[in-house]
Copies of this chain bind each other. A is one copy, B any other.
Amino acid sequence: MMKTFKIGLLGLGTVGGGTVRILQETRDEIERRIGHRIEIELIAVRDLQRARLVDTDGIHLTDDPFAVVNHPDIDIVVELMGGTTLAKELLLRAIENGKQIVTANKALLAEQGNVLFALAEKNQVNIRYEAAVAGGIPIIKVLREGLAANQIEWLAGIINGTGNYILTEMAKPEADFAQVLKTAQALGYAEADPTFDVEGIDAAHKLTILASIAFGIELQFDKVYTEGITRVTAEDMEFARLFDYKIKHLGFAGRTSDGFSLRVHPALVKKEVLIANVDGVMNAVMVKGNHVGPTMYYGPGAGAGPTASSVVADIIDVIRAATQEPTERVPALGFQANRLTQAPVEPIDAIESAYYLRCYVQDHAGVLAQISGAFADLGINIEQLHQVPNAEKPQDATLVIFTEKVSERKINQALVALQALTAVDSMIQRIRIADLG
Residues of A participating in the B interface, judged by any CB pair closer than 8 Å = 18, 22, 26, 29-35, 130, 136-138, 141-142, 145-151, 216, 274, 277-278, 289-300, 303, 305-306, 308-313, 315-317, 320-325, 327-331, 334-336, 339
Contacts and interface: CB of A to CB of B under 8 A. Distances in A.
A315 to B, nearest CB: 8
Contacts of A329: 320
Contacts of A34: 148, 336
B141 A142 contact: yes
A137 B327 CA distance: 27
B293 A296 contact: no
A345 to B, nearest CB: 18
Tell me how many chains of this kind the complex includes. 2
A150 to B, nearest CB: 6
Given A309-B149, A313-B148, A33 B293 contact: no
A294 B296 CA distance: 14
A32 to B, nearest CB: 4
Contact of A309 (B289, B300, B323, B328): B289
Nearest to A130: B146
B296 A145 contact: no
A300 B147 CA distance: 13
B150 A146 contact: no
Given A289-B309, A291-B312, 17 more contacts: A32-B336, A33-B148, A33-B216, A34-B148, A34-B336, A35-B339, A138-B142, A145-B316, A148-B313, A149-B309, A149-B316, A291-B308, A293-B300, A295-B300, A320-B328, A322-B328, A323-B324
A321 B323 CA distance: 10
Contacts of A216: 29, 32-33
Contacts of A290: 26
Contacts of A30: 148-149
Contacts of A130: 146
Contacts of A274: 274, 277-278, 298
A147 B313 contact: yes
A138 B146 contact: yes
B18 A151 contact: no
A141 B145 contact: yes
A142 B142 contact: yes
Nearest to A150: B309
Contacts of A26: 149-151, 290-291
A298 B296 contact: yes
Contacts of A35: 327, 336, 339
Contacts of A299: 292-296
Contact of A33 (B137, B308, B320, B335): B335
Nearest to A314: B149
Contacts of A32: 216, 335-336, 339
A312 B289 CA distance: 13
Contacts of A339: 31-32, 35
B277 A306 contact: no
A55 to B, nearest CB: 16
A137 to B, nearest CB: 6
B334 A33 contact: yes
A15 B274 CA distance: 27
B298 A298 contact: yes
A17 B317 CA distance: 32
A297 B136 CA distance: 12
Nearest to A287: B299
